[in-house]
Chains A and B, each alone.
Chain A
Amino acid sequence: MDEGELIRRVLSGQQEHYACLVERYQKPLIHYLRTILNGEDQVFDCAQEAFLAAYRNLGRYSVKYSFRAWLYAIARNKARDYLRKQRREIAGAVEETLADSLPGPEELWLAKEESQGVAAILRALPEHYRQVLYLRYHQDLSYEEIASVLKIPASRVKTYLHRGKERLRQELARRGINERN
């Protein structure tokens, strides 16, 4: 059953069909949220809130647009709220825990190891480049879908993709990793 039909059924009162939408998009949504949030619990909480918010606002959703992009946009807003909340909490507690938060020798060694890995290259990129590259090349979203997720014009998505790839290439060259590897 296509997603338009599923949404129509949920809107007509058959709520159980929403489970199909959750099942279809939960995994990619969690992977996407992992590019924004750090903790696994946060990622799952955020995904749950996003699905519930999408359900509550399903009446406002238009089938002209992609449900996935709409869901991702909701999830992204939720994730940003989480990050803001987290930043406030950290700012409040930073004075109390400053001494404890200094990394030990083992943590420093692990961080160094991670920084040498390929995944660290992505972390080195600015968030907007990282998200555009991830959504385009890993989740196969169209330019228009990415534009609606990130709430930017499609032309800027193309610019971010181009610049993101350029930055990635520079980063790879700097670390001595060949694209053909």
Chain B
Amino acid sequence: MSGTENLWDQIFQDKPVSEARLANLRLNVMRQITEHPQDFQGQLLLAARKRWGMILVGLFAFGGLLAPFFVLINGYFLAELIKYAAGKVILILIDIKPVITFLWDNYSLYLLSVLVLLVVLYRSENRTMDGRGAN
């Protein structure tokens, strides 16, 4: 193992770095940082605002996209419901039509006679009430 490590050391031998150049590098970096400092708090705040803005825009866009879809779905179900209800009513009407026809054929004269009698009685009653029958 030490032989291999020795080999790595030989292969990857680093040339020494001048301390003066390193100090110079550090000074240059720090000088530029001091001259142009970054406002990290402002950047973080801006990033947070951007993130929330994006979330809101995304939500609105998502809602805008989904709204017509919901309207379509709801409209479809409503139409289906109306069709279903109307179909049921028509079926009931079809079923009771012979009954109504039968009743009308047999009892229409009696029914009309009773109705006419009721109307005549109602009108004569009204005339008595408003005094015209007294004259």
- What residues of chain A have their CB less than 8 Å away from a CB belonging to chain B? 10-13, 15-16, 18-19, 22-23, 26-27, 30-31, 34, 44, 47-48, 51-52, 55-56, 58-59, 118-119, 121-122, 133-134, 137-138, 168, 172, 179-181
Q: Secondary structure of the A side of the interface?
A: helix
A12 surroundings in chain B (CB, below 8 A): 40-41
A180 touches B8 (CB 8 A): no
Given the interface contacts A31-B17, A34-B15, A119-B13, does A26 sit within 8 Å of B22 by beta carbon? yes
**Whole-angstrom distance between the Cβ of B107 and the nearest chain A Cβ:** 90
B29 touches A22 (CB 8 A): yes
**Whole-angstrom distance between the Cβ of B134 and the nearest chain A Cβ:** 104
A122 touches B12 (CB 8 A): yes
Alpha-carbon separation in the docked complex, A3 to B17 (Å):
23
Alpha-carbon separation in the docked complex, A15 to B3 (Å):
45
A52 touches B3 (CB 8 A): no
Ordered by A's residue number, 23 sampled pairs between the chains whose C-beta atoms are within 8 Å are A13-B37, A15-B30, A15-B33, A18-B33, A22-B30, A27-B17, A27-B22, A30-B17, A47-B25, A51-B25, A52-B29, A52-B33, A58-B38, A58-B40, A119-B11, A137-B12, A138-B14, A172-B7, A179-B3, A180-B3, A181-B3, A181-B6, A181-B7
B14 surroundings in chain A (CB, below 8 A): 31, 34, 138
Given the interface contacts A59-B43, A59-B47, A138-B12, does A15 sit within 8 Å of B29 by beta carbon? no
- The answer to whether B132 has its CB under 8 Å from any CB of chain A is no
Alpha-carbon separation in the docked complex, A122 to B11 (Å):
7
A119 surroundings in chain B (CB, below 8 A): 11, 13
A27 surroundings in chain B (CB, below 8 A): 17, 22
Alpha-carbon separation in the docked complex, A48 to B33 (Å):
11
Alpha-carbon separation in the docked complex, A10 to B37 (Å):
10
B17 touches A118 (CB 8 A): no
Alpha-carbon separation in the docked complex, A31 to B12 (Å):
10
Which residues of chain B in 1-50 are interfacial with respect to chain A, using CB atoms and an 8 Å cutoff? Answer: 3-4, 6-8, 10-15, 17, 21-22, 25-26, 28-30, 32-34, 37-38, 40-41, 43-44, 47
A52 surroundings in chain B (CB, below 8 A): 29, 32-33
A168 surroundings in chain B (CB, below 8 A): 11
A138 surroundings in chain B (CB, below 8 A): 8, 12, 14
